């Protein structure tokens, strides 16, 4: 089971807030999806008055160097139930109520991402991304009441959370200031996997299946009772149908319920948007793990034909010669003694086929590693070396957590949050966790996202230089307009 994909937001100096996002592997408690959690150093009175009411916090002091005030589950929008289901988020009404909810929330799966021609016409594709924009606006309106700086907001996400953040970076609007000032994208990028148009055949097929399973496929607009039908279903029916749709396409990794090109938040193919040079220029920290594909690719693949079929299904627009090129880039371990994808582990003990390593490596590079390095490359290439706002830092997470998985997608998440499950393993693991945690928090707390000086218990004196290209070469011909030019990424 892969970890939930995460998106964190933080507005500092002292606040830390996050919401979790995910693919449909991880369905949330639907009762209050629009809520967020904030953390700050404790004060005698953990209560904050904002427009919508008094928010009551709690003190957490377990094993932290100092006690922390936590505001868990602050509602930032009305729950998306009944008439509000499949609609953009709606503000919480002001009241004198004291709010002390205990869960954080998010909108994912069909409720957050249900692309189709119909939902596009109804203005409700990419609802999950709209929620995030809504939340960032909430932060602008309210964060000062919690002691935060609305001009120093960091957004922070892993996997689908990182893809989302990439979309917010690319969502540049002339004359409009972005609602965030630094970004951390872990194991993800706007060019990760495929971002399709809202009416792509794959999503049309998934939408039809979803309607079939909810018994809501009836005549098309203008009579359109489809959304009325979906709004009145019990939420159990929605989750059952979305799980079935997701599971139908999951084996081939053609995931349902994804962000799509809507010409509003996602202006076009992300690669074309990068090339246009129009994106929100903020300091970026990004990176990937070694074995990003271990959770996802089929394990038993044991022939070169199965390897190629995987790619043929995933990327139906690829020609036979494109597929041939993939085969050459990842030499077949069966026929090529020199192939680095030859399996030396005990395959029967691990339950893997002889093409697992090859498929895993190629999918890892396709879906995560190359898009991450592409982001770093495009952003650093386009910025002037004297422009602090365009700092880019890149990490490669290489700490193996198991023989089968190596360094898996999401493993670093447990280290950056200095979790006891990691720090209790050994002093060495605690140190790795502390150093990484230190870098992340330094990036968030420093003005301009400068990582050169890490303070704290771990990592003093450890330098993490700015990204300068794969071989450490300084970028030449920097262009503030961000033209990607002819350089092959
Ligand atoms: C959702 O969370 C609430 C509050 O924690 C809990 O009472 C409820 O049973 C949960 N519902 C589901 C479907 O898990
Ligand atoms: C759809 O209709 C079928 C057949 O009547 C029924 O078994 C199924 O439970 C219905 N599904 C939903 C979500 O109502
Ligand atoms: C769902 O699809 C099945 C198989 O194609 C079909 O028999 C059934 O009538 C459809 N149900 C609805 C409600 O459209
Ligand atoms: C590989 O694992 C299998 C099953 O666990 C075991 O029977 C076999 O002896 C192992 N082979 C080697 C070479 O260790
Ligand atoms: C980490 O795991 C990979 C297999 O995924 C293996 O090739 C590599 O040697 C391992 N590294 C260490 C340091 O154990």
User: Half-sphere exposure of residue 433, counting CA atoms within 13 Å on the CB side?
Assistant: 18
Q: Answer yes or no: are the C-beta atoms of 200 and 308 closer than 8 Å.
A: no
Q: Answer yes or no: are the C-beta atoms of 475 and 381 closer than 8 Å.
A: yes
Atom 13 (ligand 5): residue with closest C-alpha?
A: 400
Is the shortest distance between the CB of 235 and ligand 1 below 6 Å? no
Strand order in the sheet with 47-50: 47-50, 53-56, 98-99
Atom 2 (ligand 2): residue with closest C-alpha?
A: 215
Predicted confidence (pLDDT) at residue 385 exceeds the cutoff of 70:
no
Query: Which tens digit of pLDDT belongs to each residue from 400-414?
Result: 999 999 999 999 999
Give the domains, in start order, of the chain with CATH numbers: 6-252 (3.40.50.1820), 283-449 (no CATH)
Q: How far apart are CA 286 and CA 248, in angstroms?
A: 32
Query: Which tens digit of pLDDT belongs to each residue from 88-106?
Result: 999 988 876 666 544 444 5
Tell me the mean pLDDT in the region 122-142.
Answer: 93
Predicted confidence (pLDDT) at residue 109 exceeds the cutoff of 70:
yes
Tell me the mean pLDDT in the region 323-344.
Answer: 97
Measure Cα distances from 154 to 235, 446, 483 in Å.
Answer: 33, 11, 25
Tell me the mean pLDDT in the region 36-52.
Answer: 75
End-to-end CA distance of the chain: 32
Query: Which tens digit of pLDDT belongs to each residue from 178-205?
Result: 999 999 999 999 999 889 999 999 999 9
Q: Which of 212, 226, 237 to mutate to test the pocket of ligand 3 (most atoms within 8 A of CB)?
A: 212
Q: Answer yes or no: are the C-beta atoms of 259 and 126 closer than 8 Å.
A: yes
Ligand 1 midpoint to CA 29 (Å): 6
Q: Coil, strand, or helix at residue 41?
A: strand
Dihedral angle of Cα 353, 400, 160, 149, to the nearest 10 degrees: 180
> From start to end of 277-391, where are the E strands?
284-289
Query: Which tens digit of pLDDT belongs to each residue from 277-330?
Result: 999 999 999 999 999 999 999 999 999 999 999 999 999 999 999 999 999 999
Chain-wide mean pLDDT for the chain?
84
Q: How far apart are CA 423 and CA 446, in angstroms?
A: 25
**Exposure of 251 by Cβ count < 10 A (0-12 exposed, 13-18 middle, 19+ buried)?**
exposed
Predicted confidence (pLDDT) at residue 56 exceeds the cutoff of 60:
yes
Predicted confidence (pLDDT) at residue 117 exceeds the cutoff of 80:
yes
């Amino acid at each position: 089971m892969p970890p939930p994909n995460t998106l964190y937001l933080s507005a500092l100096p002292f606040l830390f807030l996050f919401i979790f996002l995910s693919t449909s592997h991880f369905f949330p408690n639907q009762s209050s999806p629009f809520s967020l959690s904030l953390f700050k150093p404790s004060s005698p009175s953990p209560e904050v008055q904002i427009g919508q009411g008094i928010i009551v916090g709690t003190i957490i002091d377990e094993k932290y160097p100092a006690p922390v005030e936590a505001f868990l589950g602050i509602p930032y929008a009305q729950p998306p139930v009944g008439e509000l289901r499949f609609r953009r988020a709606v503000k919480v009404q002001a009241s004198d109520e004291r709010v002390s909810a205990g869960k954080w929330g998010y909108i994912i799966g069909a409720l957050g991402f249900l692309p189709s021609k119909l939902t596009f016409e109804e203005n409700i594709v990419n609802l999950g991304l709209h929620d995030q924009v809504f939340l960032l606006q909430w932060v602008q309106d309210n964060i000062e009441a919690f002691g935060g700086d609305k001009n120093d907001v960091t957004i922070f996400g892993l996997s689908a959370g990182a893809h989302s953040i990439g979309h917010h970076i690319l969502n540049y609007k002339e004359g409009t200031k972005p609602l965030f000032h630094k970004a951390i994208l872990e194991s993800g990028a706007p060019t990760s996997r495929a971002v399709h148009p809202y009416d792509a055949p794959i999503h049309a097929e998934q939408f039809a299946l979803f309607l079939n399973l909810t018994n809501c496929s009836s005549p098309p607009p203008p009579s359109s009772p489809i959304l009325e039908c979906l709004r009145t279903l019990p939420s159990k029916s929605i989750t059952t149908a979305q799980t079935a749709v997701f599971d139908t396409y999951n084996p081939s990794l053609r995931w349902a319920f994804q962000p799509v090109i809507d010409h509003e938040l996602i202006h076009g193919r992300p690669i074309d948007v990068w090339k246009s040079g129009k994106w929100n220029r903020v300091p970026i920290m990004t990176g990937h793990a070694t074995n990003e594909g271990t959770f996802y690719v089929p394990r038993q693949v044991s022939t070169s034909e199965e390897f190629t079929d995987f790619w043929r299904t995933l990327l139906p627009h690829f020609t036979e010669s494109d597929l041939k090129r993939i085969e050459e880039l990842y030499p077949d371990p069966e026929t090529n003694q020199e192939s680095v994808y030859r399996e030396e582990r005990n395959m029967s003990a691990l339950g893997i086929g002889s093409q697992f390593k090859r498929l895993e490596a190629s999918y890892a590079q396709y879906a995560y590693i190359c898009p991450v390095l592409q982001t770093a490359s495009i952003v650093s290439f386009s910025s002037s070396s004297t422009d602090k706002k365009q700092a880019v830092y890149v990490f490669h997470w290489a700490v193996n957590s198991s023989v089968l998985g190596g360094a898996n997608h999401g493993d670093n998440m447990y280290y950056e949050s200095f979790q006891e499950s990691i720090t209790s393993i050994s002093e060495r693991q605690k140190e790795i966790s502390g150093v990484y945690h230190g870098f992340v928090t330094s990036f968030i707390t420093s003005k301009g996202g400068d990582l050169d000086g890490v303070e704290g218990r771990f990592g003093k004196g450890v330098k993490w230089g700015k990204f300068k290209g794969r071989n450490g070469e300084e970028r030449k011909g920097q262009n503030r307009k961000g033209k990607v030019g002819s350089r092959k990424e």
